[in-house]
Amino acid sequence: QRQLVESGGGLVQPGGSLTLSCAPAGFALDFHRIGWFRQAPGKEREKVSCISISDGSTYYEDSVKGRFTISRDYVKNTVDLQMNALKPEDTAVYYCAVDLSITIGTMIPCSPKYDVWGQGTQVTVST
């Protein structure tokens, strides 16, 4: 069974950093597109960042540009979201998701649909 498992969430002070990891189970990350999303209480889920594994193209939502970095860690076999300069408005449950269709060299990091979602990890930015 194909699954995604997120880890790395927690409580951090404003200005701090966290790294979220998204690990696959039952499939390999190669040639897929991975997205990180978040949902804050009372708000709709929003796309934060995407990566196309085959070509390394990336996308960032405007509010996180320059602060967040999405990357593949080949040693851990994860897709990580490095989050720096965190703000209280970054507080949310963060989810990763994968589009299981094969995508090679399109330079389009985000997918219009994602097939498998993780269970989410809570990120709280507060004093």
Burial 45-63 (b: 16+ CB within 10 A, else e): eeebbbbbbbeebebbeee
What was the pLDDT predicted at 47? 98
d(CA 82, CA 123): 12
What was the pLDDT predicted at 63? 97
Instruction: Using the structure block, give the residue that is written with the tokens 């703000």.
Output: 87
Cβ neighbour number for residue 114 with a 10 Å cutoff: 21
d(CA 58, CA 122): 23
Cβ neighbour number for residue 37 with a 10 Å cutoff: 21
Residues of the chain with pLDDT under 50: none
pLDDT (tens digit per residue) in 56-78: 999 999 999 999 999 999 999 99
What was the pLDDT predicted at 71? 97
What was the pLDDT predicted at 103? 87
